[in-house]
Chain A
Amino acid sequence: DSGVTQTPKHLITATGQRVTLRCSPRSGDLSVYWYQQSLDQGLQFLIQYYNGEERAKGNILERFSAQQFPDLHSELNLSSLELGDSALYFCASSSPGSNQPQHFGDGTRLSIL
């Protein structure tokens, strides 16, 4: 158990819809990262938050947005969903410091019908 909690585990929805994925980081971790992993692909970094502030953006579409709340949990919002958005979405968290690895949640599997 990594200590990172993601909900829901599975999500099935239709094209054009909007969904929200939720992540609770490990206790004490201030950084939250979101990744997208399509089938049999590597990890695509989407966005990072540190203590409530956006720190870095990767290949995140304009239809996607995220935020980190004062209690440090984070939400990833995906809107106007397309078939190609079907993927496994991971949240990871890390402690402050240069040598701290990222610890991953179990992911949310999003299926667009």
Chain B
Amino acid sequence: AQTVTQSQPEMSVQEAETVTLSCTYDTSESNYYLFWYKQPPSRQMILVIRQEAYKQQNATENRFSVNFQKAAKSFSLKISDSQLGDTAMYFCAFMKHVIGRDSNYQLIWGAGTKLIIKP
């Protein structure tokens, strides 16, 4: 069964520092998609970044980038020049292909990492 593990329940860094959140997953599939979502104190769920497994190039969105290591099944999120507004829960998610009568895709979620940016 596919699983997603976020081993850091909570992290805190000073504003402007760089922080890396870890995520590992387990799957036997060769092609899949990975996502990072952010949930600030407002509790909204916001898509941060996504990575396609068949692409070797790491995805980047402004200050957010990933370090995707397919062989190690690792998908870490790096936040550069962290800002107070980055304070949030961060969830890693793996898109699972459900084979059946109709093709279907579901997200498998990690437990989340609470990130606190200190002024």
Contacts and interface: CB of A to CB of B under 8 A. Distances in A.
B94 interface: no
Contacts, number: 55
Nearest to B32: A98
Interface stretch (B43-51, B60-68, B79-87): B43-51
B interface, over-half SS: strand
B105 to A, nearest CB: 6
Interface stretch (B18-26, B70-78, B109-117): B109-117
B107 interface: yes
Given A42-B91, A99-B52, A101-B50, A106 B44 contact: yes
A92 B109 CA distance: 14
Given A50-B104, A98-B33, 17 more contacts: A33-B106, A42-B91, A42-B110, A42-B111, A43-B45, A45-B106, A45-B109, A48-B104, A55-B104, A94-B105, A98-B103, A99-B50, A99-B52, A101-B33, A102-B107, A103-B47, A104-B37
Interface of B: 33, 35, 37, 43-47, 50, 52, 91, 95, 97-98, 102-107, 109-112
27 contacts: A2-B46, A33-B106, A42-B91, A42-B110, A42-B112, A43-B45, A43-B91, A45-B107, A48-B104, A50-B104, A56-B106, A88-B43, A90-B45, A92-B45, A94-B105, A98-B33, A98-B95, A99-B33, A99-B50, A101-B35, A101-B47, A103-B47, A104-B46, A106-B43, A106-B44, A107-B43, A107-B44
